[in-house]
Chain A
Amino acid sequence: MFRFRVVLVSLFLLISAENSHALSFIAKVDKTEATLQDQIILTLSVEGTQRIGGPQLPSMPAFDVMSRGSSTRMQIINGTISSGIDYNYILIPKKTGTFEIGPATLSHKGKTISSNKITLTITSADTKPQAAKNLFITTKVSNKSPYVNEQIIYTFRLYRNIKIANASLDNPSFEGFRVESLGKERQYETVINGRTFLVTEIKQALFPAREGTLEIEPARLQCEVVTRKRRSRGFFDDPFFDDSFFGFSSTESKILHSNPITVEVKPLPAEGKTPLFSSLVGNFNIATHVSKEKLEVGDTTTLTITIKGKGNIRDAHSPEFPFLDSFKIYDDKPKLTIQTTGDTFGGMLTIKKALVPLKKGTLKVPALTFTYFNPERGRYELCMSTPLVMQVLPASDKEKLHLVEALGTTTSKEEIKILGKDILPIHTSLSALKSYSMNLWHWPYLVFFFLPIAGYVGSILVKRRKERWEEDIGYVRSKSAMRKFNKKIAEIKTQIKNEDTSEFYRNTSKTLKDLLGDKLNITGSALTPMEIESQLQVLKIKKEKIERLNKLLNVLESGQFAFQRHSKSEKEDLLYQVKDLAKWFDKRIKK
């Protein structure tokens, strides 16, 4: 129960602690005096709360600042609870002098809290003599007043007699120089003032690109110095465990600077400079060589030109090659080989040309020349190859024949080479003058489109008619009635003309009756006027027409049996009336 109460009280205190105590904000450093090689740890600690945003650092132009994170803490001392947070930073000095840091600021609940100020004194690292130090770097150049493009050797050395780890070297940018590496770093031991140092040496060849004063910036080496901690003696007190790997030693970060170097670059002297100058500075020579000195016309020999020496070999190019009309010359790509012998940069440029002699006899390749600048002697020097002489024999036929044979038996086919591209020529035939209409709404097309359809429709009608023709006698009679009638009437007409009137009434009456019979699909000739009347009344034919028909039929009947004779014109008139009536009936009675 009591315990529980204690916990409750302490919890209450914990909560109230943040409110009851005012915040404090303190800046601390691990040392106030340091050298350029040291690092300073800056701690900004906040007392009174843990829940707070990060502090605002003051501007520190003399230092490089790196954040190392934060840590929180809580303490209960005599019932008083204090909590806080520490922010850690590493300051790396960039220059010497006395600097004031701060104040750092912190904003909490709308208020700004400032820390205290700290004064730091940074002294140069070189206050101690080199030999007395355990770790230092040096840089130097072989020649501080070179000519433009003359190579100078830049040497970086790291001296140490203590253990270091994670070393990283920042080479200067070598502005104004072309840099060539001179191989891998070298390690050796040396003794200075009786102390043995391990030396790491890196060499580089520098070629000044322009004249004037050039400065080589200091080299910067960052490393961690391993210091052994003798905390405990016992089980692990063994050299094997004396290693940073096992964490029994601590490390200290160090940054080493070398001194800057000033180089005065001299221009190449104008005196003696010729158009043949190849822009090479150093010491060079040239050599020529042919693969075959005795050959035949059309044969190939390889001419090798070698420029070799120490200096800016990368600037080397083929010396001017004279025009030779007795040879066909094919150039090959020049090949550059870099050779670094010890402390100097140099190499070899190999230029190969294939020569094909075009005529027989003794042919010469003249000497090739160029000049380079020799800085050791301070003057331009001429470089000349020995002229070459070749014995060229006439081409032998035997080999040619062989060549032809070889070609003859070859079966491989060559790809067609496109030599050029052009459009195909114009069409010149006069047939091109024929106009070709693209008009689709031309009447023949429409005709051709509709004609088959019309043909089809017509065929259907023809077919249907034919079918009825075959099946329906009444229809056939009705359709052919008028034709028959007209034929008969024509016959009667000729009879009238020929004064042959004996059969006029009978024929006319029969013809009319036949027509009606055909139309009504009954046997017409035997019809009586009464029968005809009743049939026609069924078809709802006008009364006056029926009467007229009856009248006509009566006239024709009586004409047959009575002795009533009409004149020729009267007969024709009668015939006309018959025809007229027949036409009307033909139209009226359709089947």
Chain B
Amino acid sequence: MIIIKKLIFTISTGVFFFSNAYVVQGQNQSVTTLFSQSQKIEEEVDAATLFIEANKYYQEEKYSDAALRYEKLIHSKVSNGEIYYNLGNSYFKMGMLGKAILSYRLAELYLPRDEDLKANLRYARQLTKDKIESKQFLSFLKEFCFWYSKLSIKELLIVFLIAHGLFWALAIIRIFWGKEYQNLMLFINLALVVVLGCSLALKMYNYTYNIDGVVFAKEITVRSGNGFSNTALFQLHDGAEFKIIKQDTNWIKIELGDGKRGWVESKWVGKCQLDINRVNK
């Protein structure tokens, strides 16, 4: 029974991997539909015990045990911001800044407005060794386009769909009961749909192609090319964040916030992307 389940899980996730640009852990509704209701309940109970156990270990300051269980939860069905947040806390307490920051970043994708999360992420970033000056000329724009940063990608999609639906509804009303003032309303709504649509498209693009990375190792050397024979350019420490520009089999090309570029070994880098393969590291 378990083997079949696993098999179906792998197939279904594989299918999702190929069919979707957004691969999400525990994305396997097809599995649940194939099994009986009792099976589903049983799994939920399992998840709950795992979660409670993990919380208990955390309270007892056995952080590595707690982290293991949170990882397990993420591996199974449950994937949401809270679990990633708790996982981040566990890694933080273990002193693994890089993993903590990565977990917080992933949690941020789910919970962009969570103040606890923000505070912890800020603190974790303070403790990192590398001071990277980032070009902050877009920060004002970020504040202004609050819907971009304060909404998760799914919330943005839903808001967009609502505006979109409203627009067409207004358009339909206008067909049958056309009034002058409706044109203005329709125009405003159209502008809203366009802005939200562009934001959504940009967010989806960033989400898919502009992937951030975090250093996991105590210290890694950034080189000028994808091999050990290349010149060492500079060093990064646990928790340093950067953008991933290009990915080879074992090497990753990165760019820091201040524009420095180089190659690092991919095994020391955590990718800030909701992806099944990530947790295997």
Do B168 and A455 touch (CB < 8 A)?
A: yes
Interface residues on B, range: 35 or more
Residues 51-64 of B, flagged 1 when their CB comes within 8 A of A and 0 if not, give: 11001001000000
Expressed in whole angstroms, the Cα–Cα distance for A436 and B110 within the complex equals: 8
Do B22 and A438 touch (CB < 8 A)?
A: yes
Do A432 and B86 touch (CB < 8 A)?
A: yes
- Tell yes or no: B65 within 8 A of A by CB: no
Expressed in whole angstroms, the Cα–Cα distance for A573 and B51 within the complex equals: 77
Do B168 and A426 touch (CB < 8 A)?
A: no
For residue A433, give the distance in angstroms from its CB to the closest CB of chain B. 5
- Tell yes or no: B164 within 8 A of A by CB: yes
Do B85 and A437 touch (CB < 8 A)?
A: no
Residues of B within 8 A of A426 (CB): 55, 58, 85-86, 89-90
- Tell yes or no: A439 within 8 A of B by CB: yes
Expressed in whole angstroms, the Cα–Cα distance for A225 and B16 within the complex equals: 101
Expressed in whole angstroms, the Cα–Cα distance for A327 and B48 within the complex equals: 58
- Tell yes or no: A449 within 8 A of B by CB: yes
For residue B84, give the distance in angstroms from its CB to the closest CB of chain A. 10
For residue B94, give the distance in angstroms from its CB to the closest CB of chain A. 12
Do B24 and A424 touch (CB < 8 A)?
A: no
Expressed in whole angstroms, the Cα–Cα distance for A499 and B20 within the complex equals: 68
For residue B109, give the distance in angstroms from its CB to the closest CB of chain A. 7
For residue A555, give the distance in angstroms from its CB to the closest CB of chain B. 49
Residues of A within 8 A of B26 (CB): 435
Expressed in whole angstroms, the Cα–Cα distance for A57 and B171 within the complex equals: 102
- Tell yes or no: B82 within 8 A of A by CB: yes
Do A445 and B22 touch (CB < 8 A)?
A: no
Do B55 and A435 touch (CB < 8 A)?
A: no
Expressed in whole angstroms, the Cα–Cα distance for A83 and B27 within the complex equals: 103
Interface residues of B in 30-62 (CB under 8 A from A): 44, 47-48, 51-52, 55, 58
For residue A325, give the distance in angstroms from its CB to the closest CB of chain B. 37
Chain A residue with Cβ nearest B124: A423
Select the stretch in B115-123, B132-140, B250-258 that faces chain A: B115-123
Expressed in whole angstroms, the Cα–Cα distance for A445 and B90 within the complex equals: 35
Do A434 and B89 touch (CB < 8 A)?
A: no
Do A452 and B164 touch (CB < 8 A)?
A: yes
Expressed in whole angstroms, the Cα–Cα distance for A422 and B120 within the complex equals: 8
For residue B255, give the distance in angstroms from its CB to the closest CB of chain A. 25
- Tell yes or no: A98 within 8 A of B by CB: no
Residues of B within 8 A of A423 (CB): 89, 92-93, 119-120, 123-124
- Tell yes or no: A564 within 8 A of B by CB: no
Known: A433-B44, A456-B168. A438 touches B109 (CB 8 A): yes
Residues of B within 8 A of A388 (CB): none
Q: Name B's interface SS.
A: helix
Residues of A within 8 A of B152 (CB): 438
Expressed in whole angstroms, the Cα–Cα distance for A80 and B141 within the complex equals: 90
- Tell yes or no: B181 within 8 A of A by CB: no
Interface residues of A in 382-435 (CB under 8 A from B): 421-435
Chain A residue with Cβ nearest B204: A440
Expressed in whole angstroms, the Cα–Cα distance for A451 and B166 within the complex equals: 12
Residues of B within 8 A of A452 (CB): 164-165, 167-169
Residues 439-479 of A, flagged 1 when their CB comes within 8 A of B and 0 if not, give: 11100010011011101100110010000000000000000
Do B154 and A440 touch (CB < 8 A)?
A: yes
Do B89 and A437 touch (CB < 8 A)?
A: no
For residue B45, give the distance in angstroms from its CB to the closest CB of chain A. 10
Interface residues of B in 164-208 (CB under 8 A from A): 164-165, 167-169, 171-172, 175-176, 204
Name which of A434, A437, A440, A451 has the most chain B CB atoms within 10 A of its CB. Answer: A440
Interface residues of B in 62-117 (CB under 8 A from A): 77-83, 85-86, 89-90, 92-93, 109-110, 116
Name which of A424, A426, A463 has the most chain B CB atoms within 10 A of its CB. Answer: A426
Expressed in whole angstroms, the Cα–Cα distance for A512 and B256 within the complex equals: 84
For residue B239, give the distance in angstroms from its CB to the closest CB of chain A. 14
Do B48 and A441 touch (CB < 8 A)?
A: no
Expressed in whole angstroms, the Cα–Cα distance for A367 and B92 within the complex equals: 54
Chain A residue with Cβ nearest B55: A428
Expressed in whole angstroms, the Cα–Cα distance for A428 and B70 within the complex equals: 12
- Tell yes or no: B244 within 8 A of A by CB: no
Known: A435-B78, A438-B153, A449-B161. A430 touches B51 (CB 8 A): yes
Instruction: List 20 extra interface pairs beyond A438-B154, A456-B175, CB under 8 A.
Output: A423-B92, A427-B82, A427-B86, A431-B82, A432-B86, A435-B78, A435-B80, A437-B154, A438-B24, A438-B110, A438-B153, A439-B16, A440-B154, A440-B157, A449-B164, A451-B165, A452-B168, A456-B171, A459-B172, A459-B176
Closest 5 CB pairs of A and B: A452-B168, A432-B82, A436-B80, A426-B86, A423-B120
14 interchain pairs, CB-CB under 8 A = A421-B123, A423-B119, A423-B124, A426-B55, A427-B85, A433-B44, A435-B78, A436-B81, A438-B153, A440-B204, A449-B164, A455-B168, A459-B172, A459-B176
